Amino acid sequence: MLEVSELFIYPIKSLGGIAVQQTFLTDRGFQYDRRWLLVDDNNIFLTQRDNPKMALLQTVLGDTGLSVFQKHNPNQSLHIPFDLMSTETVSVTIWEDTCLAQLVNPEVDQWFSQALNMNCHLVYMPDHSRREVDPRYATQNELTSFSDGYPTLIIGQASLDDLNARLPTPVPINRFRPNIVFTGGQPYEEDKLTAFQIKGINFSGVKLCGRCMITTINQETAETGKDPLRTLAGYRLQNNNVMFGMNLLHEGTGWISVGDLLIQH
């Protein structure tokens, strides 16, 4: 029996994620997940690959907006009301995609620029901005947010346990930034999850997730190392990419909760 054990959203791409007990699945992923993005002065997306200090900024979801604080200095905080977004729009670049985004606020930009010691701007993806997933893997012109490429990512707890048994120092699941974690099954069970349901919503596993150096960044200290990427490369290498986790597409919308079952087709 496969069962949802953890759910995560990452409202601002590459900042600290939020564990939730339930969340609403929209047409482009979990509600609020990666709807905000930090960009540089050329409107090109920023992640921990560019600045590991992004790991030290934690997001918190509230009723009226989003809060961000520095993990080691919680007094260094910022509140971003949901209705703060400017009417000014810009074209932003994320990987090979260009899509429309709303500027948030110059004061917000200043806060992030100081926190990260670099010029940056916060933008938001409005509902009318449509970013489609890679057509090589899409089935119905599916959408995604400012994720790396797909609406959701799933990882089995057994896979993490197997990896940690091989590592000199175990790592937490936050190194891999999944949306859905499940228990049950064998290690790397997600590799075979080509078609399943959660709460009557159809999911399809379309592409294994190639991992990058972000997995080597300690999310509490922003320090970098060689693992777990080095260890994973010893047994999870495909076409020179280290694979861990499965990218998902889905049909339909609805609530998903910890404890829900994954029903394989």
Asked if residue 260 has pLDDT above 90, the reply is: yes
Question: What whole-number percentage of the chain has pLDDT above 90?
Answer: 98
Residue 85 binned pLDDT confidence (cut-offs 50, 70, 90): confident
Q: What mean pLDDT do residues 183-188 have?
A: 98
Indicate the pTM of the whole model.
Answer: 0.97
> Bigger pLDDT: 84 or 158?
158
Q: What is the pLDDT of residues 193-252, one digit of tens each?
A: 999 999 999 999 999 999 999 999 999 999 999 999 999 999 999 999 999 999 999 999
pLDDT attached to residue 265: 83
Q: What is the pLDDT of residues 105-146, one digit of tens each?
A: 999 999 999 999 999 999 999 999 999 999 999 999 999 999
Q: What is the pLDDT of residues 13-62, one digit of tens each?
A: 999 999 999 999 999 999 999 999 999 999 999 999 999 999 999 999 99
CB-CB contact of 60 with 18 (8 Å): yes
Q: What is the mean pLDDT of the chain?
A: 97
